[in-house]
Structure 1
């Protein structure tokens, strides 16, 4: 059983602790974040894929495409490399559906 320790920390100290923890977790997973140059907002990502924003939102809700979103925020980011990977793994995604 872990012990709970309560400390009085400043906002800056807490922010540094969280940042260090996230960096360590990413290093442990050997994760490299996509470059900011390839980051796109929802409109740019939809244009890049040649689909409507409505379709992209639907794919996001169905977890068909990876998206980065800060909890409690409406801002979402897509990355070209991640979208390319999804399309390579699922080439039928961009084909028109049969109705």
Structure 2
């Protein structure tokens, strides 16, 4: 009989992280498949272009979450900050200030 090892308690099933912006909570797609796709988009680029930023945005946020972001009318600098903070959360880097 094959050996079975239960690793359930070593995994995190808490769900997707969320960003809070003003009074809005925005859920981030944090599954492994999304992260692998993000890594493919980012590649070795230190500075992704607008095409890559848009692709990462579409991967990270479901349509309903993108509508919430669009209602905020952010400038491009803040928009890209949201994307890179979201990527950090998906990667497990939680160096943000406050809750």
TM-score by length of 2: 0.27
TM-score by length of 1: 0.27
Higher CA-based Rg: 1
Larger RCO: 1 or 2 (CA < 8 Å, sep 6+): 2
